[in-house]
Amino acid sequence: MDNLTSVFAQVRSQFPALNQKVHGKDLVYLDSAATALKPQSVIDRITKLYSYETSNVHRGAHYLGDVATVAFENARTRVAEFLKASSTDEIIFVRGTTEGINLVAQSWGSTNLQKGDVILITEMEHHGNIVPWQMIAEQMGAEVQAVAILDNGELDLEDLKKKLSSKVKMVAFTACSNVLGTVNNAKEITKLAHAVGAKTLVDAAQIVSQEPVDVQDIDCDFLVFSAHKIFGPFGFGVVYGKRSLLEKMPPYQGGGSMIAKVTIEKTTYNDIPHRFEAGTPHVEGAVGLHAAIDFVTQIGFKQIHEFEMQLLKSATDKLLQIPDVKIFGTAPHKGPLISFNLKGAHHSDVGQILDREGVAVRAGHHCAQPLMARLGVPGTVRASFSVYNNENDIQTFIKAVAKAREMLL
């Protein structure tokens, strides 16, 4: 056993969800692009909070209130370090990537967009990075346009350059497609956008568990991600925003915590980032994300990337040996996922057969219907790999796909 295999065998042992059977078969979890499984360290940290540290933050005049507040704000510091942000003031806690994009669209968009302005997205976006921009565009009289993709799933940079103009105020794009696996060059796209005076928002939901993210190096104006994609809890996410922009943005929601002073006649708002965090926050989400970031950084992104690319290559090579398989997304720089169909078979039928074999995949449009229209299919089967998978998982997956072909074609 080589060193990398040994390291990730130990990593795999930290995920209790894998110690179960599905339909009498050992679980093979290949749906990490939808949500990552949770390591014991994250589960234990959340359990500790609920067992011994339960208290509301920023409020309690007692010991437990102080403990919870320190843990909550320590998580903000950890996230700022993780993203290489210049200040914790640039880190806003939200419910996830979707809420984060809605926050930016409404708060930044309502004060910066005018009739005739253009918001650029791409054909590979998740609905979470499409619908919020359509909503604010309709409110402000702006227009949403999409940058095309090439047949191999890469972003068409020539089309991006063609569509960029002084009318473009925002370029919102995914760092890694949840369907194609395509990894976009966020730094290059941001540089092109800034050249025409546009701001950028990076949907980093898929990329944060794969490789380091440095918001200062990218120079993006906003970046969003969800904790559950990086081995953390559900219902929690992060918005990074440049301080100079956040300070000029109005609150997205009103209520407790986001205020400085309230009278019946008028409210003055809190400083950033707290003015964007109305109400009781998701404290267990924050401490769980802190533990998840610690988990990832202890393994190291270099090892994670090398291991996941080994899994991707093995699965891709073996899948292509099965007749009638068509893979969507063959960009040279890909994340660890494969979208495919069996020609002549419905993706849902394939997914159900794989499930009966204990293999968990996603089958459907993956919240990316415009991309499905571009690909000319109603949906695909998606297998996505992570740090807890291994070559045995790949073998089981391939056998299950071969069985699906025998049954359906």
Reported as a single tens digit per residue, the pLDDT across 309-352 is 999 999 999 999 999 999 999 999 999 999 999 999 999 999 99
Token duo for residue 256: 């407790």
pLDDT in tens, 363-372: 999 999 999 9
The token duo for 52 is 């011994």
**Phi-psi domain of 288 (left: phi exceeds 0; alpha: psi -120 through 50; beta: other):** alpha
43-297 is a CATH 1.10.3210.10 domain? no
pLDDT tens sequence across 24-55 = 999 999 999 999 999 999 999 999 999 999 99
Catalytic residue among 367, 372, 402, 408: 367
Q: Is 0.85 surpassed by the pTM of this model?
A: yes
Cα–Cα distance, 220 to 241 (Å, whole number)? 8
Residue 215, pLDDT > 90, answer: yes
367 labelled catalytic: yes
CA-wise closest residue to 195 among 224, 243, 161: 161
Superfamily of domain covering 3-30+301-408: Aspartate Aminotransferase, domain 1 (3.90.1150.10)
In the structure, what pLDDT confidence band is assigned to residue 61 with cuts at 50, 70 and 90?
confident
Q: Write the pLDDT tens digit of every residue in 88-145.
A: 999 999 999 999 999 999 999 999 999 999 999 999 999 999 999 999 999 999 999 9
Long-range contacts of the stretch 131-134 (C-beta < 8 A, 24+): 132/98, 132/101, 132/102, 132/104, 132/105, 132/106, 133/101, 133/105, 133/109, 133/170, 133/172
> For residue 2, is pLDDT > 90?
no
Beta bridge partners of 223: 202, 240
The CA distances from residue 256 to 239, 240, 262, 272, in Å, are 20, 22, 10, 14
Which tens digits make up the pLDDT trace of 234-266? 999 999 999 999 999 999 999 999 999 999 999
What's residue 1's pLDDT?
Answer: 52
Sheet-wide strand order for 337-342: 325-328, 337-342, 380-384, 362-364
Q: How high is the pLDDT of residue 267? A: 94
Burial tier of 282 (Cβ tally within 10 Å: 0-12, 13-18, 19+): buried
Pairing of strands 337-342, 325-328: antiparallel
Domain boundaries, the chain: 3-30+301-408, 43-297
SS (H, E, C) the chain: CCHHHHHHHHHHCCCHHHCCEECCEECEECECCCCCCCCHHHHHHHHHHHHHCCCCCCCCCCHHHHHHHHHHHHHHHHHHHHHCCCCHHHEEEECCHHHHHHHHHHHCHHHHCCCCCEEEEECCCCHHHCHHHHHHHHHHCCEEEEECECCCCCECHHHHHHHCCCCEEEEEEECECCCCCEECCHHHHHHHHHHCCCEEEEECCCCCCCCCCCHHHHCCCEEEEEHHHHCCCCCCEEEEECHHHHCCCCCCCCCCCCEEEECCCCEEECCCCHHHCCCCCCHHHHHHHHHHHHHHHHHCHHHHHHHHHHHHHHHHHHHCCCCCEEEECCCCCECCEEEEEECCCCHHHHHHHHHHCCEECEEECCCCHHHHHHHCCCCEEEEECCCCCCHHHHHHHHHHHHHHHHHHC
Q: What is the pLDDT of residue 3?
A: 87
Please report, rounded to a whole number, the percentage of residues in the chain having pLDDT higher than 90: 98
- CA neighbor of 36 nearest in space, from 381, 380, 304, 262: 304
Indicate the average pLDDT of the chain. Answer: 97
Q: 10 Å Cβ neighbour count for 119?
A: 28
- pLDDT reading at 60 higher than 80: no
- Cα–Cα distances (Å) from 379 to 13, 206, 321, in that order, read 33, 19, 22
